[in-house]
Amino acid sequence: MKRFFKRVADLFFVLLPHINISMALFMLTLLVTDFFNRAMAFINNNITKGMLFVFCILILTEAIHDVIQHRKK
């Protein structure tokens, strides 16, 4: 069981940069769209705020993981 969780964690940290890139591009798209069309109100939307919160948590997780990996080396 411990080995299974280790493999899941390894897979998560391999996929994490790809998830962050896609979320960053999505958030930038919303930001640009909101800039040119304020009536859409993407940035003031609760869903967008929730996605921004998740994005920040993922970036923080990736940064902590990278710091730990660099200290191990």
Q: What would the pLDDT profile of 52-73 be if each residue is shown by its tens digit?
A: 899 999 999 999 999 998 888 7
Residue 6 lies in domain: 2-72
Axis-axis angle for helices 2-36, 46-72 (nearest 10): 130
Identify the pLDDT of residue 73: 76
Mean pLDDT of the region 1-11: 91
Number of structural domains the chain divides into: 1
Separation CA 14–CA 72 (nearest Å): 17
Identify the pLDDT of residue 70: 84
Identify the pLDDT of residue 8: 93
Please report, rounded to a whole number, the percentage of residues in the chain having pLDDT higher than 70.
Answer: 100
pTM (2 d.p.): 0.73
Q: What SS3 state is found at 43?
A: coil
